[in-house]
A and B are shown apart, each in its own frame.
Chain A
């Protein structure tokens, strides 16, 4: 069986087999096949293999639907809230930074880390520089509008970023404090509940002990009374009942 294709015709043969041969390739293959029995047989065998491969056809295809969006489910906000409630503090801090970056991205701002630390480049400023300043700075800025507006925007963005970071930090601190307080109160309530339970159990045990003691006393007493005092009520009943038997 010729599997090596010593004639080095495998590429044009494949193109020919799958009807992708150029006219030159087709001519070359057909000329070769007229002389080479091995290649002719190989081509015929490949055609039969192809015929067999084509026997494998699919009957059913599963119906797929990609569930997108939040149709029928919880809202994105709800999911986000839940995520935040179970997210550790470090992740929240990371989220705050990401959020700040997102806000900056929306503003068209690049954030880059260089030698001087983190720096921000507002796209709004660049756009401003290119001309159409009226959309951002407003028509009132007539005297050297570009520089003034750039400085103004820069300080605005800086303020916004600082404020965002400060806000998120403050919020995190508050959240942490609230969480700690609630945790403490939970612990306390759990503690007091446990104490109360223990106290109740102790009381119950004491009561039970008392009952047992009394029972023992009574039994001892009963026997003595039985023997010594005939006018006691219970022994009398007992004797009566015995008499009844």
Chain B
């Protein structure tokens, strides 16, 4: 078997980067543990994005991302080839985020989060959406609005909007029917519409 040469920071070959996820897994399990870093490189952005948007806290998201890949590495032999690696690792990440959210004390919810949940928010002035300041403002509102959603809706919206998964793929990750995914998506968007309603210029 051809070895993956120098898998340090930039040591991947072009041919290695073209390997499929299952080929990388095969190599990892076949005695080249460093090959797993190809999968990390391929999926870290998505997993970090997912965990950050689900948890809303950067440090926690970094921890969750790391835990996701470690868990995937440790359980790689349990991965079944018929499922997509992406679905599998998304599922691990979602479980880790869910555990983290559950372990959070209800007393640690920030004032911002509480205000968002209760629906009170000062009206924002968004005359010029093009500027970066206002973009940041919108982002802040979006973050808070998403954090206020129940986990089951939030995860569907994040996987759809930011990860670009198809409804069938989300259903696969969560192990629920496609119709349920669509219903959750619809309810989540309706909630967001209410929560972001104060941004009149934008919504």
Contacts and interface: CB of A to CB of B under 8 A. Distances in A.
Interface of A: 1, 3, 5, 10-11, 13-15, 18, 20, 42, 45-46, 48-56, 58, 61-66, 68-69, 71
Interface string B148-187: 0000000001001110001100000000000100110111
A49 B37 contact: no
Interface centre among A3, A48, A51, A66 (most CB of B within 10 A): A66
Nearest to B68: A64
B73 to A, nearest CB: 5
Main secondary structure of the interface of B (DSSP, over half): helix
Main secondary structure of the interface of A (DSSP, over half): loop
Contact of B73 (A3, A55, A66): A66
B193 interface: yes
Contact of A61 (B44, B187, B197): B44
A61 B44 CA distance: 8
Interface centre among B34, B53, B186, B187 (most CB of A within 10 A): B186
B19 interface: no
Contacts of B95: none
Contacts of B69: 64, 66
Given A56-B138, A65-B40, A66-B70, 13 more contacts: A10-B183, A13-B186, A46-B193, A49-B189, A49-B192, A49-B196, A50-B189, A52-B142, A53-B192, A58-B49, A64-B40, A66-B36, A68-B34
Interface of B: 9, 28, 33-34, 36-37, 40, 44-45, 48-49, 52-53, 62, 65-66, 69-70, 73, 135, 138-139, 141-143, 146, 157, 160-162, 166-167, 179, 182-183, 185-187, 189-194, 196-197, 199, 202-203
17 contacts: A1-B193, A1-B194, A3-B191, A10-B186, A11-B182, A52-B142, A52-B196, A58-B49, A61-B44, A63-B44, A65-B37, A65-B40, A66-B69, A68-B28, A68-B34, A68-B37, A68-B73
